[in-house]
Amino acid sequence: MHLIQEAKPILEVNKLNIQLNEQKILTDLSFKLNAGETVAIVGESGSGKSLACLSLLGLQDRALDLSGEIIFQNEDLRLKHEDQLRLIRGNKIAMIFQEPMTALNPLHTIEKIISEPLWLMGLKKKTIRKKIEEVLCDVGLGSSSDILKRYPNQLSGGQRQRVMIATALISEPEILIADEPTTALDVSLQKQILKLIKDQAHQKNMALVLVSHDLRLVQQYADQVLVLSKGVTVEQGDVSQIFLQPRHEYTRLLLNQQFDSISPISEEAKELLNTEHLRVRYPPKLNFLNVFKTQFIAVEDLCFQLKQGESLGIVGESGSGKTSAALALARLIESTGTIELNRIKLNQLSDKQLRAHRNDFQIVFQDPFSSLNPRMNVLSLLTEGLRLKKLRKSEKLNLAIQALEEVNLTKEFLHRYPHQMSGGQRQRVSLARALILKPQLLILDEPTSALDRNTQIKLVNLLQDIQQRTGISYIFVSHDLKIVKALCHRVMVMKDAKVVEIQETERLFSAPIHAYTQHLIQSSL
């Protein structure tokens, strides 16, 4: 009689502890991962999810102390030298980072970024080009040579995320660590990308460590789940048990979250913003024959009005023009047409004239890590915009503390730097930096993409509360239709640089007119 031996795990983490001086950040993290299996790590922002993933490859801050075991191919990765780890990173174990703008080299073209692992393997140019075209098609970017010649700053957030995924998949690793791989993607593309990753895992027997705050996606694509709270594993088990019979109160809290209902706009509300025939066209470039290429149209003929105390959601797939519209409204990129705030035509003002009105409108960027100065601590970041105001140092400090409290952060964060915070914490600091100036209009570009659902709800409820108290207006760019439905009075749908539909939120979700809108809503269910 032959005994059937249990398959040996491809990765085994035993009692992994991470601490800074005497402060514990991650406590006794343990799990086993088999080839072809997916383990999901979930929890609130700051719970230690991303830090756990970085530590698997030795990418954590060197000031942190690690103990425990990380067993891969019968060897403890913690005991390997940096040169040995470099041979594993990207080849044997690849990682999709949470913030692609800071993970992609801004000096390299997309082609060079994606092909670098293959050049290091010694593959021929023809083979490399074929594999690049295949992986670009897989992640929804097509095989266009135009994308390959661009740099990261010339792509939308969703496109950069897909480049990150392509770079991780192209070397066909044994383990893929995906840290929030779909946060910058619209709902239809989220499913496409995760299905692609799961199909790759199935076909190549690849194991997957998935970090996500989207429990709907975790339930659909994971095999086992770890629930982290403040660095401690509060619950662990297979996906059906976690979702159907959660044992821990914190897990039940994550699974049962509800948004507050939005308050109606005052009938006496005045018009704050008027936009007419707004166009954004990126300038043409000379090719090698010194002939101008065709202009790239990012936004075409955008027209809308916004009242005081009103929230307008802008939705659409990655590359539809949402972020370009937001940047144009914030006067951060050139545009034509009319942008009128409080009857002042902003795009007719010089930079010097515009400076006097900057406090009236602020923007929260999609990628908080690249928008926060890494050399400035939180106190400096928050008070930077107050320099033109004649305030005492103590007054600035009090305003900074109040701004942090508004976004559910404590004053202990004042002396931290961006790299010492989680993605969600950095996003809240970005929001606090905008709110401290008390603007009339706040433009938010995917402000909740890096946050878990519990923190998303707290942030949306916070934005609603601030709006009721101050009468602030929001332009809210997002691919998360549930948040748009909870926060926005009206919704604008964009596709291929144009507005295809704009309606009151309740009517748009109950009776969408355009086929594309119907597709977006159906995909979000």
Give residue 144's pLDDT. Answer: 62
**In the chain, what is the straight-line distance between the N-terminal and C-terminal CA atoms, in Å?**
51
- Residue whose C-alpha is closest to residue 171's, from 47, 246, 88: 88
Q: How confident is the model at residue 416 (pLDDT cuts 50, 70, 90)?
A: very high
Q: SS3 of 348, please?
A: helix
Would you say residue 523 has pLDDT above 80?
no
C-alpha span between 136 and 427 (Å, rounded): 29
Q: Quick count: other Cβ atoms within 10 Å of Cβ 21?
A: 7
Would you say residue 291 has pLDDT above 60?
no
C-alpha span between 421 and 418 (Å, rounded): 6
Q: How confident is the model at residue 2 (pLDDT cuts 50, 70, 90)?
A: very low
Q: How high is the mean pLDDT of the chain?
A: 87
Token pair for 327: 């940047």
DSSP summary character for residue 253: H
Give residue 200's pLDDT. Answer: 78
Give residue 165's pLDDT. Answer: 86
Give residue 16's pLDDT. Answer: 94
Per-residue pLDDT averaged across 247-257, rounded?
A: 86
Per-residue pLDDT averaged across 207-222, rounded?
A: 87
Would you say residue 17 has pLDDT above 80?
yes
13 versus 194: which is more confidently predicted?
13
Would you say residue 18 has pLDDT above 90?
yes
Give residue 450's pLDDT. Answer: 66
Would you say residue 345 has pLDDT above 90?
yes
For residue range 385-395, what is the model confidence (pLDDT) as tens digits?
Answer: 888 788 899 99
Give residue 141's pLDDT. Answer: 81
Would you say residue 256 has pLDDT above 60?
yes
Q: SS3 of 23, please?
A: strand
For residue range 268-284, what is the model confidence (pLDDT) as tens digits?
Answer: 899 999 999 999 988 76
Find the helix packing angle between 157-169 and 187-204, rounded to 10°.
0
Domains of the chain: 11-255 (3.40.50.300), 271-524 (3.40.50.300)
C-alpha span between 123 and 371 (Å, rounded): 37
Would you say residue 73 has pLDDT above 50?
yes
Q: How confident is the model at residue 5 (pLDDT cuts 50, 70, 90)?
A: very low
105 versus 500: which is more confidently predicted?
500
Give residue 284's pLDDT. Answer: 63
Per-residue pLDDT averaged across 301-312, rounded?
A: 96
Give residue 314's pLDDT. Answer: 97
Residues 193 and 139: beta-carbon distance below 8 Å:
yes
Kindly state the percentage of the chain with pLDDT values over 70. Answer: 95
C-alpha span between 515 and 502 (Å, rounded): 13
For residue range 468-504, what is the model confidence (pLDDT) as tens digits?
Answer: 888 999 999 998 888 999 999 999 999 999 999 999 9
Per-residue pLDDT averaged across 208-215, rounded?
A: 86
Per-residue pLDDT averaged across 283-291, rounded?
A: 58
Q: How confident is the model at residue 525 (pLDDT cuts 50, 70, 90)?
A: low
Give residue 466's pLDDT. Answer: 87
Per-residue pLDDT averaged across 391-419, rounded?
A: 92
